[in-house]
Structure 1
Amino acid sequence: MRTSEHTFPADFTFGVATSAYQVEGGIENDWAEWERAGRLKEPHARCGPAVDHWNRYEEDYRLATAVGATAFRISLEWARIEPVRGQFDEAALEGYRERLLKMKACGLTPVVTLHHFTHPTWFHRETPWHSPESVEVFRRYSRRCAALLEGLDARVITFNEPMVLLLGGYLQGAIPPGIADGALTMKAMENLVRAHAVARRELGERLGRVPMGISQNMLAFAPDRWWNPLDRALVRLGAQAYNHAFHEALSTGKLRVNMPGVATARVDIPEARDSVEFVGVNYYSRAHLRFVPRPPFIEFKYRDTQGRGLTDIGWEDWPEGFLQTLRDVKRYGKPVWITENGIDDRSGTRRPHYLHTHLAQVLAARAEGVDVQGYLYWSLLDNFEWLEGWGPRFGLYHVDFDTLERKPTPACDYFRQVATGKRLVAPL
C-alpha cells in the first residue's frame, strides 16, 4: 500500500510507550535515593508504587490493544534485575519474561529498552559511567537481558535519551548521579557509546540479528534573539551536540562533541560504527537558546511564538520542528522509529489535536522519503514524571493516582481511528 497525504502504509506500526520506574513501582534504585534526598521540584514527592503496572500489566496490555496499538515499549529495570552487583534476581528475570510473553500473546510486539535513566543503587558508587568498569557491568547485564528476550522477536533500545542523562546528570547535576563536570561528561558519553556496542554484540550472539538502536531526545532549536550571531551559533552547536553527536557516533564510530568552554570530545570508537538497525527519535518541542557571558554560556527557554499556548509542562507546541527533525535523521540511512512523542495535557482536551498535527508531520516526512516505520505515543498511562513528580499527565489513559483507576481520555478514540484505519483523520 502506498502512502498518500493522509494514509499510512499497511505495515506502519502504531504503539505506546512506558518505562519501568515510571509505571511499575516498588523499585529501589538511584532515583528512589534522589527522591528521599528531596531533590525533586516537589521535595516530598515519591514514586513509590507508581501506577502499579507490575501487577496490572495484563489490564494495561488490554488498554493498549483497545486503542489499536500493535507495539508496546517497556524498559527492563536494572535495579530489579541486579540489585547487588554481580547478583542477578532470577525471579525478576522470570517476571519480565512472563510479562513479555503475555504481551506477545495479546498481539503486541515488544519494544524493550535496556536502560531508561535509572541505575541500581550500587552503580554510581562502584562503576559510574565515567569509569571504564561501567562498560563491563553493562555488558554483563545485557547478556542476562538477551537470555530473557530469546524467541520474542523484540525490537531493542539500549539507551533512552543518553544526552538527557549526560546533560542532566553529569553537566548540570540536576538528576542522578548529580555531577557537574564537563570532562567527566565526555568520558561518560564515550563509555555509553562503548556500552551500546558491547550490548549489541551480546544480544547478537544470543539472538542473532536483532533490530537495535537508541532513543534520542531531539529538540528543534531557535535563537532567542534572531539578530544575535552568538545565539545563532549556539543553535548550530546545540543541534549538533545534543541531537546528533550520539547518533553520529553509532553511525561512523567517531564521537565528536564541541561545546566551547563546557565540554569537548574527539574519540574514535570503531566497534560503534554502523551499530544500529534503526534510528529512534523522541520529539516533544522546540527550545530557544540565548548566549550569556558566564558558564555554561547558554540559557534555554520555551516560548509560545505562535499563540498556541505552552503545554502544561511549559513546552512549546511546535509540530513544525518534528518534520525538520525527521528530515535531519534521514542522513543516517536507516529506518526511523518515533519512540516517544506526546503532550502534557492535564485537561485531556488538547491531545487529539496534538496527535493530529504531529502525525501529519510524520506523513510529510514519509512523502519526502524518510523511512519512518513506527510511532509510539508517550505514554499509555499518566505516570511519575521524574523531577516533575506527579503533576504532568501525558497518558492516553487518565490515572487516578489515589485509586489507580485508568480512564480513557478523548485521545483514545482519536488514536484508535488513526491506528486501525491507517489514515489521518481530523480530530472532533
Structure 2
Amino acid sequence: MSSTALTFPASFTFGVATSAYQVEGGIENDWAEWERQGKLKEPHARCGLAVDHWRRYAEDYALAKAVGATAFRLSLEWARIEPERGRFDGAALEGYRERLLKMRAQGLRPVVTLHHFTHPTWFHASTPWHLPESLEAFRQYVRRCAPLLEGLDALVISFNEPMVLLLGGYLQGLMPPGIADGAKTMAALGNMVRAHVIAREELGQHLGRVELGISQNMLAFTPDRWWHPLDRSLVRLAAPAYNHAFHEALSSGHLRVFMPGVASTDVRIEGARDSVEFVGVNYYTRAHLRFMPRPPFIDFKYRDPDGRGLTDIGWEQRPEGFLQLLQEVKRYGKPVWVTENGIDDRKGTVRPEYLHAHLRQVLAAREAGVDVQGYLYWSLLDNFEWLEGWGPRFGLYHVDFDTLERRPTPACDYFREVATGRVLVPPASVAGVASAQPSAAR
C-alpha cells in the first residue's frame, strides 16, 4: 500500500462495542436460566453483576473517549425492559434514555442493538421465534424502544448475529432455547427476517428516517482437506447460507438456505427487499470445514496453517479473510460498518498487532471500492463471554473481575494513535505499545 492508502478519511468512525448482558449486570433472562442449569463450559460460571456497567456507564464512556472513540455500541436488554409479558418497566426505559443522552453529550454516537442474543424469561415458552406469535411480541418491544432513540442520530442494529443464535440455539441446542430441529430453525430464521421488517416499520413511524441494519457474524470458510470434493462442496454451501442468507434476504427480499440433510428454506419475505441502510459485518476468524458421513454432516476446526498462533480462545488469526468478506458484501450496494472485530488476548500483548493487521484490511477494502464507514472494536471491556464464561479477554481495557477495576492494555495507546491520527502506523512506533511488557495487562 502507498502512504496515502494507509490514511483513514476524517469521516471514518472509530468506536467500541459492548452488549447489555455481557457488561451491565443484574439481568434475569434466558441466559441467566441457562447458567443456573449448568450449561456453560464452566458449569458454575454466572454472569451476575457482569462488570457493573449499568452503574459505571459514565466511567466507561470516559474510557471510550480516552482511546479516541466517537461511537459506542450497546444493546437494549429486552428482559430489563419487559420482564413480564406485556409489563414494560418505566424505570428501565428511562434508564436507557438517560444513558443514551449522556453518551451523545459525551460526543459518542450511539450504535444501538435491539436484540443481542438474549430474551425475557417468558419468551421461549410464550412466543418463540419459530411461531408467528413472536412477531407481535417483538413489535410491542420495538414500539416501546423507539422513543429512546429520538434526536440521537443513532445507528440501529435490529439483530446481532442472527445466524449464530439460530445455529447455536435452534440447530445445535448449545444455547437458549436449546432446540435441535432443522425445520424450527428455518421457521425461526424467516420470522427474524420478518421481525427486522417490523423494526423498520415501528422505528420509521416514530423517528422518520432511521439508519437500520443487522450485525452479521461472517466466517472465512475453507475446506479442511483441500483435495476432498465433499469438503469443498461444504464450503460452497455453508458460505452463502451462513454469511449471506440474512444479508441477501434484506437486500433482495428472497430468503434462501440450502443445506441438504441439515436445514433448508426458500421463501420471499414481504417488505424485506432493500430494508437496510447499511451492512454490518462482525469478523473474527476462519473455519476449516470437514464432511462427516453422519448428521449433521459438518465438522469445523480452527487451524494455524500460517503459523501466526491461535488466539487464546483457539481461533485462527486470518486477517486476509476479513478483506475477502468485506469485498463480498460490496455486492449489496450499501455502506458497510464493521460492527465487531477483536481478539481474545489474555496477556494483552498481541492485540496491537492484531488491530494493525485487521485495520490494514479495512483500508485495503476501501481502496478496492468497499464503502467501509466505521470500525467498532470488540470490546471496550473484558466481559462475560457467553458459553465461555469469564475466561476470554477481548477488552481494550483489562477488568479485574474481583474488584471491577478497569486498566488500560497496550492496545489502548495503539487504538488512540490510529483513531486520532488517522494514519495506520505500525504498533512498534507507538511508545506505550513498544515498551509494553507481557505482564502489563495481567
C-alpha distance in structure 2 between counterparts of 1:330 and 1:118, whole Å:
30
In the alignment, which residue of structure 1 is the partner of 2:435?
none
1:294 correspondence with 2:294: yes
Is the counterpart of residue 202 in structure 1 residue 202 in structure 2? yes
Aligned to 2:361: 361
Distance 2:134 2:252 in 1: 22
% identical aligned pairs: 81
User: 1-side partners of 2:3 and 2:164: how far apart?
Assistant: 34
Task: Compute the displacement of 1:81 (Å).
Answer: 0.1
1:145-194 CA-partner distances (Å, limit 9, x unpaired): 10111111111000000000000000000000000000000000000000
Structure 1: distance between partners of 2:32 and 2:354: 32
Partner AA of 2:31 in structure 1: W
Q: Give the aligned CA root-mean-square deviation in angstroms.
A: 0.9
TM-score (norm 1): 0.99
Cα separation, 2, equivalents of 1:5 and 1:319: 17
Q: Is the 8 A contact 1:3 1:367 kept in 2?
A: no
- The aligned counterpart of 2:7 is 7
CA displacement at 1:3 relative to structure 2: 9.4
Aligned residues of 1:171 and 1:182 also touching (Cα < 8 A): yes
In 1, the alpha carbon distance for the partners of 2:86 and 2:4 equals: 52
Matches within 5 A, 1:70-81: 70-81=70-81
Give the Å deviation of 1:41: 0.1
1:161-240 matched pairs, under 5 angstroms: 161-240=161-240
The offset of 1:130, in angstroms, is 0.2
Which string of whole-angstrom CA distances, capped at 9 and with x for unpartnered residues, describes residues 228-262 of structure 1? 01000101111000000000000011100001101
Question: 1:278-427 residue pairs with structure 2 within 5 A?
Answer: 278-427=278-427
Structure-2 residue corresponding to 1:92: 92
Match of 2:431 in 1: none
1:142 aligns with 2:111: no
Hey, what does 1:272 align to over in structure 2? 272
User: What is the Cα deviation at residue 270 of structure 1?
Assistant: 2.4
Number of matched pairs = 427
> Which amino acid is the alignment partner of residue 48 of structure 2?
G
Alignment partners' CA distance in 2, 1:3 and 1:126: 57
Q: Distance in 2 between matches of 1:131 and 1:270?
A: 17
SS of residue in 2 equivalent to 1:5: helix
Given that 1:4 and 1:367 are in contact with CA atoms closer than 8 Å, whether structure 2 keeps it comes out as no
Read off the aligned partner of 1:320 and give its amino acid letter: E
Distance of 1:270 and 1:93 partners within structure 2:
31
Alpha-carbon separation, structure 2, partners of 1:213 and 1:281 = 10
**How far apart are 1:4 and its partner, in Å?**
2.9
3-state SS, counterpart of residue 26 of structure 1: coil
Task: Give secondary structure in 2 for the equivalent of 1:255.
Answer: strand
- Distance in 1, matches of 2:235 and 2:357, equals 24
Q: 1:273-308: CA deviations, max 9, x gaps? A: 100000000000000000000001010100001111
Alpha-carbon distance in 2 for matches of 1:364, 1:152: 31
Match of 2:62 in 1: 62
Q: Deviations over 1:173-229 (max 9, x none)?
A: 000000000000000000000000011110011001110000000000000000001
What amino acid maps onto 2:89 in structure 1? D
Separation of aligned partners in 2, 1:238 and 1:258: 9
Unaligned runs of 5+ residues in structure 2 are 429-442
After TM superposition, which residue ranges in structure 1, 4 or more long, deviate above 2 angstroms? Answer: none
Q: Is the 8 A contact 1:197 1:275 kept in 2?
A: yes
Counterpart of 2:157 in structure 1 is 157
Determine the C-alpha separation between the residues in 2 that align with 1:139 and 1:319: 38
Q: Secondary structure at the match of 1:425?
A: coil
Letter in 1 for 2:387: L
